[in-house]
Amino acid sequence: MSPTEYNTSANTAEENLIVQHSSILTTRNVTVTLLLATFLYVSLRRRSQRKLELTLAKQYDCEPVFPKVPYRWPFALDLLKVQFEAYFSGRTLEALTDYITIAGTVRLELWGVTGYITTDPENIETILSTRFEDYGLGNRRVASFPLLGEGIFSQDGRPWKHSRDLIRRQFVRVQKQTLQVFTPHIDELVSTLNEAAGQADVVDLKPFFFEFTLNTTTQLLFGEPHGSLPKEDRDALRDNFDYAALGVGIRVRLADLAPLYNPARFKKACEAVRDWATFFADKALRYKDEVGEEKASEKYSFIIDLWREMKDEALVRDQLLHILIAGRDSTAALLSWTFFHLVRNPDILERLQKEVSVVPPGTHITREQIQKLPFLRCCLNESLRLYPQLALNFRYANKNTILPRGGGPDGQSPVLIPKHSGVGWSSYHLHRRESLYGPDSRLYRPQRWENGDLVKKARLGAGFIDFNGGARLCLGKDFALMEASYAMIRLLQAFPKVRLPPGITNEPVGAERQSFSIVLSPLDGVKVLLI
């Protein structure tokens, strides 16, 4: 190679290196510039957000929450471990008592994020009613979506309001019906319990209650009872229901990490439940196509009314599932806990039996007759107090907001809740507060409700949250209470000798093992002697 050629080649190589380095430097400069711009944007945004927070805190004289849930491991992972160990041992809520009851409102730092837990009635009423619009469901929607899909319990804002209006219409219609819609299902329940008592001395009432409420709810929603299916299919559905609900409970506790829990069996169980609801929805819509909407609505009023509004089969199915799960689990759990404690308190049981004896056996029970049985309602209230329908609940602030109490050294000052912060409350522990329910708050004592003063003192939606409260008060509350009352009367008349079997532990309230998925129910069932 000549010197000229060599120099030309060297110059070309040098130019290429310069271009390459220039490209690298340009890329690095762009990257650094973007990082700096992002950092600056986030810093300015955070500074602006903090300024708004300080302005609101100053406006309401907010103070920080001093009581704090203690932890030892980084990111409070030991608290997560405690929670899951308790969950699978049947001690979830009792295991959390020492943490939740440190103060009326406590600070919780988990995953490096600050949240709050409260059992203060004023704060709970604020979340459920006074400042309801300031809060949303947050990651709870993600946790329940594989099972429930798009419906009233997973929605916020306008979609939620629309769903609630649709479903309210249906429950207004149901409320106008006589209670005789329960009669065939109660008759079947009594018959199956008689058969079970003839086969074994000790009968567990819990699975029978869940089957009973599933029948009444499917009759309401689908126009025909679940019991019309073959037993094999009913048993499979029950198992899938229970497993899917367990999985949702685990996902709720994982918060933002809920998608990480999605095992094959959970997905299969959710799919089976959704397929089952789809089957009934399809059946009703095919019937509509055959006979027309007017005639179809006589048999499938709930489904056809939803279809008229939504025109989407998947959305109709999801709404049905939301109401179905609430209707099945809430009343079955209420019946289970009430009988669980009645057989452990013979004096209370005897008094209730005497009261319901005024209802003539074998006759149609009316709403007016039930309303004249005050001690029956006291017993149901006491079960709902000790085992509320939503024992733990959460919301996430969708804007900067406040809680009226919990801040400062005495816990009486307002508290700033920054946007995106989580706030949880425990109805389970709220309903055991001695300041509301007296020194015997951990006893099953229905008499506490007799004179009506307790309801005024505790206040519905604040100190007593039986079926949630505020804007999200359960639309099926009346249906559930009438169904439970009707069942209680008929069962106490059919089995006047119902009692606790010998050898079954009569443990103190709270010492029993509890199953906590969507609702709270006795993990070891409700074992009784019927005859």
Tokens of 512: 């029993």
pLDDT at 224: 80
Q: Cα dist. 456→18, 24, 262, 435, 479 in Å?
A: 83, 73, 44, 14, 23
Q: Cα dist. 210→336, 375, 382 in Å?
A: 9, 24, 20
Tokens of 408: 């400062």
Tokens of 58: 């100053």
Residue from 519, 508, 3 nearest 242 by CA: 519
**How many CB atoms are located within 10 Å of the residue 230 CB?**
8
Q: Which residues pair with 114 in a beta bridge?
A: 109
Q: Cα dist. 154→104, 253, 254 in Å?
A: 28, 16, 17
Residue from 531, 496, 432, 500 nearest 96 by CA: 432
Q: Long-range CB contacts (< 8 A, 24+ apart) of 128-134?
A: 128/461, 128/465, 128/468, 128/469, 128/470, 128/471, 128/472, 129/461, 129/469, 129/470, 129/471, 131/401, 131/402, 132/470, 132/471, 132/472, 134/397, 134/398, 134/399, 134/401, 134/417
As a whole number of angstroms, the distance between CA 85 and CA 254 comes to 13
pLDDT at 26: 66
Q: Cα dist. 446→262, 342, 351, 449 in Å?
A: 42, 10, 11, 6
As a whole number of angstroms, the distance between CA 194 and CA 490 comes to 13
Are the C-beta atoms of residues 396 and 131 closer than 8 Å to each other? no
Tokens of 127: 């979340």
DSSP 3-state of 405: strand
pLDDT at 473: 93
Q: Kindly state the helix (H) or strand (E) to which residue 485 belongs, with its residue range.
A: helix 477-494
Give the β-pairing of 202-204 and 392-397: unpaired
Q: Cα dist. 328→14, 114, 481 in Å?
A: 78, 35, 13
Report the chain's terminal Cα–Cα distance, integer Å. 113
DSSP 3-state of 166: helix
Q: Specify the residue for token string 């007759």.
A: 369
Residue 507 burial (C-beta neighbours within 10 Å; 0-12, 13-18, 19+): exposed
As a whole number of angstroms, the distance between CA 213 and CA 226 comes to 10
Q: Kindly state the helix (H) or strand (E) to which residue 395 belongs, with its residue range.
A: strand 392-397
Are the C-beta atoms of residues 457 and 342 closer than 8 Å to each other? no
DSSP track, 274-308: HHHHHHHHHHHHHHHHHH-HHHHHHHSHHHHHHHH
Q: Cα dist. 320→20, 200, 206, 266, 492 in Å?
A: 63, 36, 24, 20, 32
Per-residue pLDDT of the chain (531 residues; tens, 9 = 90+): 554 444 455 455 555 545 455 555 466 666 677 666 666 666 666 677 888 899 999 999 999 999 999 999 988 888 888 888 888 888 889 999 999 999 999 999 987 789 999 999 999 999 999 999 999 998 888 999 999 899 898 899 999 999 999 888 888 887 777 788 899 999 999 999 999 999 999 999 999 999 999 999 888 878 887 777 778 888 888 899 889 988 998 898 888 889 999 999 999 999 999 998 888 888 899 999 999 988 988 888 888 988 888 888 888 889 888 888 778 889 999 999 999 999 999 999 999 999 999 999 988 899 999 999 999 999 999 999 999 989 999 999 999 999 999 999 999 999 999 999 999 999 999 999 999 999 999 999 999 999 999 999 999 999 999 999 999 999 999 999 999 999 999 999 999 999 999 999 899 999 999 998 888 999 999 999 998
Using alpha carbons only, what angle is made at residue 57 by residues 54 and 61, rounded to the nearest 5 degrees?
Answer: 140
